[in-house]
Amino acid sequence: MQTLLLLPGDGVGPEVIAEARRVAERVAPDLGLELGLLGGASIDAHGEPLTAATLARARASNAILMGAVGGPKWEGISRNLRPEAGLLGLRKGLDVYANLRPAVCFPALADASALKRDLVEGLDIMIVRELTSGVYFGEPRGIETLADGTRRGLDSQVYTSTEIRRVARVAFELARSRPRKNTAYSGVLSCDKANVMETGVLWREEVTRLHAEQFSDVPLAHMYADACAMHLVRAPRTLNVILADNLFGDILSDEAAMLTGSIGMLPSAALGDPGTPGLYEPVHGSAPDIAGQGVANPCAAILSLEMALRWSLDRAPAADRVRQAVERALASGAATRDIGGALSTRQMGDAVLKALDQL
Ligand code: IPM
Ligand code: MG
Protein backbone atom coordinates (compact mmCIF):
# COMPACT_ATOMS: atom_id res chain seq x y z
CA MET A 1 0.00 0.00 0.00
CA GLN A 2 1.23 3.51 -0.79
CA THR A 3 1.78 5.71 2.25
CA LEU A 4 1.73 9.46 2.70
CA LEU A 5 3.36 10.70 5.89
CA LEU A 6 1.76 13.88 7.23
CA LEU A 7 4.04 16.14 9.28
CA PRO A 8 1.81 19.08 10.25
CA GLY A 9 4.53 20.77 12.33
CA ASP A 10 3.91 24.15 13.94
CA GLY A 11 1.85 27.32 13.71
CA VAL A 12 -0.81 27.13 11.02
CA GLY A 13 0.72 23.82 9.80
CA PRO A 14 -1.76 21.56 11.65
CA GLU A 15 -4.72 23.72 10.55
CA VAL A 16 -3.92 23.59 6.84
CA ILE A 17 -2.77 19.96 6.83
CA ALA A 18 -6.10 18.95 8.39
CA GLU A 19 -7.86 20.28 5.27
CA ALA A 20 -5.36 18.64 2.91
CA ARG A 21 -6.01 15.42 4.79
CA ARG A 22 -9.75 15.62 4.16
CA VAL A 23 -9.07 16.16 0.47
CA ALA A 24 -6.65 13.20 0.39
CA GLU A 25 -9.23 10.94 2.05
CA ARG A 26 -11.71 11.94 -0.64
CA VAL A 27 -9.57 11.61 -3.77
CA ALA A 28 -7.32 8.73 -2.67
CA PRO A 29 -9.25 6.67 -0.11
CA ASP A 30 -6.85 3.73 -0.45
CA LEU A 31 -3.80 5.83 0.41
CA GLY A 32 -2.27 4.99 3.80
CA LEU A 33 -2.11 8.23 5.79
CA GLU A 34 0.37 8.39 8.66
CA LEU A 35 1.06 11.14 11.13
CA GLY A 36 4.36 12.33 12.65
CA LEU A 37 5.98 15.21 14.51
CA LEU A 38 8.42 17.74 13.10
CA GLY A 39 9.90 21.04 14.24
CA GLY A 40 8.72 22.66 17.44
CA ALA A 41 6.07 19.98 17.91
CA SER A 42 8.86 17.38 17.96
CA ILE A 43 11.05 19.53 20.24
CA ASP A 44 8.20 19.71 22.76
CA ALA A 45 7.61 15.95 22.65
CA HIS A 46 11.14 14.57 22.15
CA GLY A 47 13.60 17.41 22.74
CA GLU A 48 14.74 17.49 19.12
CA PRO A 49 13.17 18.84 15.92
CA LEU A 50 13.56 15.63 13.89
CA THR A 51 13.99 12.23 15.52
CA ALA A 52 15.79 9.35 13.83
CA ALA A 53 12.51 7.43 13.99
CA THR A 54 10.61 10.15 12.11
CA LEU A 55 13.33 10.35 9.44
CA ALA A 56 13.19 6.57 9.06
CA ARG A 57 9.40 6.69 8.65
CA ALA A 58 9.78 9.46 6.08
CA ARG A 59 12.29 7.40 4.11
CA ALA A 60 9.94 4.41 4.18
CA SER A 61 6.91 6.31 2.88
CA ASN A 62 6.08 7.19 -0.71
CA ALA A 63 5.71 10.89 -0.02
CA ILE A 64 5.75 13.33 2.88
CA LEU A 65 3.32 16.23 3.23
CA MET A 66 4.60 18.82 5.63
CA GLY A 67 2.82 21.82 7.13
CA ALA A 68 5.31 24.34 8.47
CA VAL A 69 7.92 24.60 11.21
CA GLY A 70 9.00 27.26 13.67
CA GLY A 71 7.55 29.98 15.85
CA PRO A 72 8.44 32.45 18.57
CA LYS A 73 8.26 29.77 21.26
CA TRP A 74 11.44 28.09 20.01
CA GLU A 75 13.41 31.13 18.92
CA GLY A 76 15.90 31.17 21.77
CA ILE A 77 17.12 27.61 21.18
CA SER A 78 20.58 26.99 19.71
CA ARG A 79 20.59 26.81 15.93
CA ASN A 80 21.05 23.07 15.52
CA LEU A 81 18.12 22.29 17.83
CA ARG A 82 15.69 24.82 16.38
CA PRO A 83 12.59 23.76 14.42
CA GLU A 84 14.22 24.87 11.13
CA ALA A 85 17.04 22.41 11.75
CA GLY A 86 14.43 19.64 11.62
CA LEU A 87 13.32 20.77 8.19
CA LEU A 88 16.88 21.05 6.90
CA GLY A 89 17.66 17.62 8.37
CA LEU A 90 14.63 16.16 6.64
CA ARG A 91 15.62 17.66 3.27
CA LYS A 92 19.20 16.47 3.65
CA GLY A 93 18.19 13.07 5.04
CA LEU A 94 15.85 12.44 2.13
CA ASP A 95 18.37 13.94 -0.34
CA VAL A 96 15.58 15.90 -2.01
CA TYR A 97 17.87 18.18 -3.94
CA ALA A 98 15.44 19.73 -6.42
CA ASN A 99 12.87 22.10 -4.98
CA LEU A 100 10.04 22.94 -7.36
CA ARG A 101 8.26 26.16 -6.45
CA PRO A 102 5.59 27.16 -8.94
CA ALA A 103 4.39 30.76 -8.96
CA VAL A 104 1.04 30.69 -10.70
CA CYS A 105 -1.42 33.57 -10.71
CA PHE A 106 -4.94 32.20 -10.54
CA PRO A 107 -7.29 34.38 -12.63
CA ALA A 108 -9.58 34.97 -9.65
CA LEU A 109 -6.67 36.41 -7.68
CA ALA A 110 -4.92 38.71 -10.16
CA ASP A 111 -6.11 41.79 -8.29
CA ALA A 112 -4.65 40.55 -5.01
CA SER A 113 -1.12 40.77 -6.43
CA ALA A 114 1.18 43.58 -5.37
CA LEU A 115 1.73 44.22 -9.09
CA LYS A 116 -0.78 45.49 -11.59
CA ARG A 117 -3.13 42.93 -13.10
CA ASP A 118 -1.76 43.28 -16.63
CA LEU A 119 1.73 42.35 -15.39
CA VAL A 120 0.70 39.17 -13.58
CA GLU A 121 -2.46 37.84 -15.23
CA GLY A 122 -1.65 34.38 -16.55
CA LEU A 123 1.70 34.26 -14.75
CA ASP A 124 3.13 30.73 -14.69
CA ILE A 125 6.70 30.46 -13.45
CA MET A 126 8.50 27.45 -12.03
CA ILE A 127 11.44 28.06 -9.76
CA VAL A 128 13.81 25.12 -9.42
CA ARG A 129 15.86 25.68 -6.29
CA GLU A 130 18.81 23.52 -5.27
CA LEU A 131 17.87 22.34 -1.78
CA THR A 132 20.49 20.19 -0.09
CA SER A 133 23.79 21.99 -0.55
CA GLY A 134 25.30 25.46 -0.89
CA VAL A 135 25.66 27.86 2.00
CA TYR A 136 22.88 26.15 3.95
CA PHE A 137 25.08 23.12 4.54
CA GLY A 138 28.64 24.15 3.58
CA GLU A 139 31.53 23.58 6.01
CA PRO A 140 33.36 25.18 7.71
CA ARG A 141 30.80 27.32 9.44
CA GLY A 142 30.43 28.82 12.88
CA ILE A 143 30.93 31.81 15.11
CA GLU A 144 34.30 32.19 16.85
CA THR A 145 35.95 34.76 19.07
CA LEU A 146 39.33 35.96 17.87
CA ALA A 147 42.32 36.69 20.14
CA ASP A 148 41.48 40.40 20.26
CA GLY A 149 37.91 39.65 21.34
CA THR A 150 36.37 40.37 17.93
CA ARG A 151 33.70 37.86 16.99
CA ARG A 152 33.76 36.29 13.53
CA GLY A 153 30.91 34.47 11.76
CA LEU A 154 31.63 32.12 8.89
CA ASP A 155 29.43 30.33 6.35
CA SER A 156 30.73 28.41 3.35
CA GLN A 157 29.11 28.36 -0.06
CA VAL A 158 30.17 25.04 -1.55
CA TYR A 159 28.94 23.27 -4.69
CA THR A 160 30.26 20.28 -6.60
CA SER A 161 29.73 19.78 -10.29
CA THR A 162 27.58 16.70 -9.51
CA GLU A 163 25.28 18.74 -7.28
CA ILE A 164 24.88 21.43 -9.91
CA ARG A 165 24.28 19.03 -12.76
CA ARG A 166 21.64 16.93 -11.01
CA VAL A 167 19.44 19.91 -10.18
CA ALA A 168 20.04 21.55 -13.57
CA ARG A 169 18.84 18.33 -15.19
CA VAL A 170 15.53 18.63 -13.35
CA ALA A 171 15.13 22.21 -14.60
CA PHE A 172 15.86 21.25 -18.21
CA GLU A 173 13.50 18.28 -18.12
CA LEU A 174 10.75 20.43 -16.66
CA ALA A 175 11.27 23.09 -19.32
CA ARG A 176 10.93 20.41 -21.95
CA SER A 177 7.54 19.38 -20.58
CA ARG A 178 6.18 22.91 -20.16
CA PRO A 179 4.67 25.16 -22.82
CA ARG A 180 7.44 27.26 -24.32
CA LYS A 181 7.06 31.02 -23.93
CA ASN A 182 7.57 33.37 -26.82
CA THR A 183 10.08 35.52 -24.92
CA ALA A 184 13.81 35.93 -24.41
CA TYR A 185 13.62 33.58 -21.42
CA SER A 186 11.42 30.95 -22.95
CA GLY A 187 13.15 27.90 -21.47
CA VAL A 188 15.51 27.84 -18.49
CA LEU A 189 16.91 31.00 -16.93
CA SER A 190 19.84 30.07 -14.70
CA CYS A 191 20.74 32.53 -11.92
CA ASP A 192 24.10 32.94 -10.25
CA LYS A 193 26.59 35.54 -9.12
CA ALA A 194 29.36 34.45 -11.46
CA ASN A 195 30.59 38.03 -11.39
CA VAL A 196 31.68 37.72 -7.76
CA MET A 197 31.58 34.07 -6.63
CA GLU A 198 33.66 31.03 -7.54
CA THR A 199 30.64 28.80 -7.03
CA GLY A 200 28.84 31.11 -9.45
CA VAL A 201 31.50 30.57 -12.11
CA LEU A 202 31.30 26.81 -11.61
CA TRP A 203 27.48 26.92 -11.62
CA ARG A 204 27.40 28.72 -14.97
CA GLU A 205 30.03 26.45 -16.54
CA GLU A 206 28.35 23.23 -15.45
CA VAL A 207 24.86 24.33 -16.47
CA THR A 208 26.21 25.41 -19.87
CA ARG A 209 28.06 22.12 -20.29
CA LEU A 210 25.10 19.91 -19.39
CA HIS A 211 22.92 21.96 -21.72
CA ALA A 212 25.32 21.49 -24.65
CA GLU A 213 25.64 17.76 -23.94
CA GLN A 214 21.99 16.79 -23.47
CA PHE A 215 19.51 19.65 -23.60
CA SER A 216 20.43 21.86 -26.54
CA ASP A 217 16.77 21.79 -27.65
CA VAL A 218 15.80 23.79 -24.52
CA PRO A 219 16.45 27.55 -24.65
CA LEU A 220 18.94 28.50 -21.93
CA ALA A 221 19.86 31.96 -20.65
CA HIS A 222 21.93 33.11 -17.69
CA MET A 223 21.33 36.10 -15.45
CA TYR A 224 22.91 37.44 -12.29
CA ALA A 225 20.63 36.69 -9.36
CA ASP A 226 20.20 40.35 -8.44
CA ALA A 227 19.16 41.22 -11.98
CA CYS A 228 16.73 38.32 -11.90
CA ALA A 229 15.17 39.73 -8.71
CA MET A 230 14.58 42.94 -10.63
CA HIS A 231 13.30 41.21 -13.73
CA LEU A 232 10.80 39.26 -11.63
CA VAL A 233 8.93 42.43 -10.73
CA ARG A 234 9.48 44.21 -14.03
CA ALA A 235 8.34 41.59 -16.54
CA PRO A 236 7.53 38.36 -14.70
CA ARG A 237 5.49 36.82 -17.48
CA THR A 238 8.53 36.65 -19.74
CA LEU A 239 10.02 34.01 -17.43
CA ASN A 240 9.42 30.29 -17.53
CA VAL A 241 11.75 28.01 -15.51
CA ILE A 242 14.19 29.73 -13.14
CA LEU A 243 17.12 27.67 -11.88
CA ALA A 244 18.91 28.88 -8.77
CA ASP A 245 21.08 27.67 -5.92
CA ASN A 246 19.78 27.15 -2.40
CA LEU A 247 20.13 30.73 -1.09
CA PHE A 248 19.20 32.64 -4.24
CA GLY A 249 16.31 30.25 -4.79
CA ASP A 250 15.07 30.87 -1.26
CA ILE A 251 14.96 34.61 -1.87
CA LEU A 252 13.67 34.58 -5.45
CA SER A 253 10.87 32.17 -4.56
CA ASP A 254 9.54 34.45 -1.82
CA GLU A 255 9.61 37.31 -4.28
CA ALA A 256 7.84 35.28 -6.96
CA ALA A 257 5.25 34.19 -4.40
CA MET A 258 4.19 37.77 -3.79
CA LEU A 259 3.51 38.26 -7.51
CA THR A 260 0.74 35.71 -7.42
CA GLY A 261 -1.58 37.45 -5.02
CA SER A 262 -1.01 35.35 -1.97
CA ILE A 263 1.71 33.23 -0.52
CA GLY A 264 -1.20 31.26 0.97
CA MET A 265 -1.80 29.75 -2.48
CA LEU A 266 1.63 28.34 -3.26
CA PRO A 267 2.67 24.70 -2.93
CA SER A 268 6.13 23.22 -3.37
CA ALA A 269 7.74 19.88 -4.04
CA ALA A 270 11.21 18.70 -3.11
CA LEU A 271 12.37 15.78 -5.20
CA GLY A 272 15.34 13.45 -5.10
CA ASP A 273 16.31 10.74 -7.53
CA PRO A 274 13.43 8.90 -9.22
CA GLY A 275 11.87 6.29 -6.97
CA THR A 276 12.75 8.09 -3.73
CA PRO A 277 10.06 9.81 -1.60
CA GLY A 278 9.33 13.47 -2.32
CA LEU A 279 8.73 16.10 0.33
CA TYR A 280 5.80 18.47 -0.22
CA GLU A 281 5.08 21.65 1.66
CA PRO A 282 3.20 24.92 1.36
CA VAL A 283 5.58 27.84 0.81
CA HIS A 284 3.94 30.04 3.44
CA GLY A 285 5.58 28.90 6.65
CA SER A 286 4.12 28.71 10.15
CA ALA A 287 2.58 32.25 10.16
CA PRO A 288 2.65 32.70 13.98
CA ASP A 289 0.64 35.92 13.67
CA ILE A 290 -2.51 34.03 12.66
CA ALA A 291 -1.79 30.56 14.11
CA GLY A 292 -4.60 29.06 16.15
CA GLN A 293 -7.26 31.36 14.71
CA GLY A 294 -8.47 28.99 12.00
CA VAL A 295 -8.14 31.61 9.27
CA ALA A 296 -5.09 30.39 7.33
CA ASN A 297 -5.55 29.60 3.67
CA PRO A 298 -5.43 25.79 3.20
CA CYS A 299 -5.01 26.03 -0.60
CA ALA A 300 -1.21 25.88 -0.56
CA ALA A 301 -1.35 22.69 1.51
CA ILE A 302 -4.09 21.22 -0.70
CA LEU A 303 -2.08 22.09 -3.82
CA SER A 304 1.00 20.53 -2.19
CA LEU A 305 -1.06 17.36 -1.87
CA GLU A 306 -1.85 17.74 -5.57
CA MET A 307 1.87 17.85 -6.35
CA ALA A 308 2.47 14.76 -4.19
CA LEU A 309 -0.27 12.86 -6.04
CA ARG A 310 1.32 13.84 -9.34
CA TRP A 311 5.06 13.56 -8.69
CA SER A 312 5.45 10.83 -6.07
CA LEU A 313 2.25 8.80 -6.01
CA ASP A 314 1.65 8.38 -9.73
CA ARG A 315 -2.00 9.51 -9.43
CA ALA A 316 -2.24 12.22 -12.07
CA PRO A 317 -6.05 11.92 -12.50
CA ALA A 318 -6.59 12.50 -8.77
CA ALA A 319 -4.11 15.39 -8.90
CA ASP A 320 -6.02 16.94 -11.81
CA ARG A 321 -9.26 16.71 -9.85
CA VAL A 322 -7.74 18.45 -6.83
CA ARG A 323 -6.40 21.21 -9.04
CA GLN A 324 -9.74 21.74 -10.78
CA ALA A 325 -11.58 21.72 -7.48
CA VAL A 326 -9.35 24.47 -6.05
CA GLU A 327 -9.77 26.55 -9.21
CA ARG A 328 -13.53 26.13 -9.17
CA ALA A 329 -13.82 26.93 -5.49
CA LEU A 330 -11.87 30.15 -6.07
CA ALA A 331 -13.85 31.01 -9.17
CA SER A 332 -17.08 30.57 -7.22
CA GLY A 333 -15.88 33.25 -4.83
CA ALA A 334 -14.63 31.09 -1.97
CA ALA A 335 -11.74 32.91 -0.32
CA THR A 336 -9.90 33.18 2.97
CA ARG A 337 -8.83 36.50 4.43
CA ASP A 338 -5.42 36.63 2.73
CA ILE A 339 -7.06 36.63 -0.69
CA GLY A 340 -9.80 39.09 0.10
CA GLY A 341 -12.50 36.81 1.53
CA ALA A 342 -13.79 35.94 4.97
CA LEU A 343 -13.89 32.13 5.02
CA SER A 344 -12.22 30.16 7.78
CA THR A 345 -9.66 27.46 7.03
CA ARG A 346 -12.32 24.80 7.51
CA GLN A 347 -14.88 26.59 5.34
CA MET A 348 -12.32 26.95 2.54
CA GLY A 349 -11.64 23.21 2.86
CA ASP A 350 -15.40 22.62 2.67
CA ALA A 351 -15.57 24.71 -0.52
CA VAL A 352 -12.86 22.60 -2.16
CA LEU A 353 -14.56 19.36 -1.09
CA LYS A 354 -17.87 20.64 -2.46
CA ALA A 355 -16.21 21.53 -5.77
CA LEU A 356 -14.71 18.04 -5.87
CA ASP A 357 -18.18 16.52 -5.50
CA GLN A 358 -19.42 18.62 -8.40
CA LEU A 359 -16.66 17.72 -10.86
C1 IPM B 1 11.92 28.03 2.88
C2 IPM B 1 12.22 28.56 4.26
C3 IPM B 1 13.32 27.72 4.88
C4 IPM B 1 14.55 27.91 4.03
C5 IPM B 1 13.60 28.01 6.37
C6 IPM B 1 12.36 27.86 7.21
C7 IPM B 1 14.72 27.14 6.90
O8 IPM B 1 12.55 29.92 4.21
O9 IPM B 1 11.59 26.84 2.77
O10 IPM B 1 12.00 28.80 1.93
O11 IPM B 1 15.29 28.89 4.21
O12 IPM B 1 14.82 27.04 3.19
MG1 MG C 1 12.25 30.79 2.30
Q: Report which ligand 1 atom has the smallest distance to the Cα of 131.
A: 12
Q: Please report which ligand is nearest the Cα atom of 99.
A: 1
302 close to ligand 1 (CB < 6 Angstrom): no
Please give the number of the atom of ligand 1 that sits closest to the Cα of 84: 7
Tens-digit pLDDT string for the chain (359 aa): 999 999 999 999 999 999 999 999 999 999 999 999 999 999 999 999 999 999 999 999 999 999 999 999 999 888 889 999 999 999 999 999 999 999 998 877 888 888 888 899 889 999 999 999 999 999 999 999 999 999 999 999 999 999 999 999 999 999 999 988 788 899 999 999 999 999 999 999 999 999 999 999 999 999 999 999 999 999 999 999 999 999 999 999 989 988 887 788 999 999 999 999 999 999 989 999 999 999 999 999 999 999 999 999 999 999 999 999 999 999 999 999 998 899 999 999 999 999 999 99
Contact 9, 71 (CB under 8 A): no
CATH 3.40.718.10 fits 1-97+272-359, yes or no: yes
CA nearest ligand 1 atom 5, residue: 84
DSSP string, 251-294: HHHHHHHHHTS-GGG---EEE-STTSPEEE--TT---TTTTTTT
Q: Please report, for the chain, the start and end positions of each structural domain, with discontinuous segments joined by +.
A: 1-97+272-359, 98-265
CATH architecture of 98-265: 3-Layer(aba) Sandwich (3.40)
DSSP string of 36-57, one letter each residue: ---THHHHHHHSSSS-HHHHHH
Its pTM surpasses 0.75: yes
User: Which phi and psi (to 5°) does residue 259 adopt?
Assistant: -65, -25
- Beta-carbon count within 10 A of 212 CB: 10
165, 97 Cβ separation under 8 angstroms = no
**Max Cα-Cα span within the chain:** 71
In tens, the pLDDT along 2-25 reads: 999 999 999 999 999 999 999 999
Residues 6+ apart with CB under 8 A from 355: 324, 325, 326, 328, 329, 332
Separation CA 182–CA 349 (nearest Å)? 37
Q: What share of the chain is helix, strand, coil (3-state, %, to 5)?
A: 50, 20, 35
